[in-house]
Amino acid sequence: MNKKLVMATNNANKLREAREILAPLGIEVISQREAGADCEPEENGTTFAENAMIKAKAVYDIVKLPTIADDSGLCVNALDGRPGVYSARYAPKGQECQKLLEEMKDVPDDRRTASFQCTIAYIDENEVKTMNGGCIGRIGHEMRGTNGFGYDPVFMVGDRTMAELTADEKNAISHRGAALKALFDYLSTK
Ligand code: ITT
């Protein structure tokens, strides 16, 4: 497949991961800024899918090229699924892990399960589609590792945090990797 997609995001880490995951599949990802769309629409949906569609549509309406958007977040079972769609707004950037550890400090090990969730919205001139991916893990007791971004230093998969995985290891198991592979499968049928 040889295809170019615009990614409707202002998050450089998401863009990097999407490029890493899709490049080997023959899909080139350009940022919304590179495509000339300098916008940040209000994410006032209540689901990952709604917010992904809001972002994809805002950029598609400007660039009129096949566009994807990622809406994602961390759902913690002991917190009834929070921060969920509000993950980006849970704490000031860079402080989300400390805040989560503090909120979870009295939660015992057997109740620390969580998942990362990701919805990718895809829009082109004919079609609108969403694809989901998830990754199950647990919230650790301390921040570990320097790779990745956001909640990665406290999200444990096995005995390592996601921030201790290499980029390839993370992409192979991540919520974003799963949703983008589903997108690839979908695009392969078009
Ligand atoms: P855009 O809306 O511009 O794409 P954003 O960072 O605001 O960027 P979201 O609204 O989808 O994106 O918020 C997702 C938040 O969830 C993100 O800021 C992180 O805090 C967290 N998150 C999502 N994927 C993650 C991952 O792979 N690792 C760690 N944290 C992640």
Protein residue whose Cα sits closest to atom 13 of ligand 1: 88
pLDDT along the chain (190 residues), means of 10: 90 96 93 95 96 98 97 98 98 97 97 98 96 98 97 98 97 97 90
Protein residue whose Cα sits closest to atom 16 of ligand 1: 73
- 168 annotated active-site: no
Cβ neighbours for 110, distance < 8 A, ≥ 6 positions apart:
none
Joined tokens for residue 98: 């400390």
**Catalytic one among 71, 106, 109, 124?**
71
Query: Given the structure tokens 């689901």, which residue do they identify?
Result: 47
Q: 0.85 exceeded by the pTM?
A: yes
The confidence score (pLDDT) of residue 190 equals 77
Query: Given the structure tokens 């005995």, which residue do they identify?
Result: 159
Of ligand 1's atoms, which has the minimum distance to the CA of residue 8?
A: 4
152: Cβ below 6 Å to ligand 1?
Answer: yes
The confidence score (pLDDT) of residue 1 equals 67
Cβ neighbours for 177, distance < 8 A, ≥ 6 positions apart:
17, 21, 133, 170, 171
Radius of gyration (C-alpha) of the chain in whole angstroms: 16
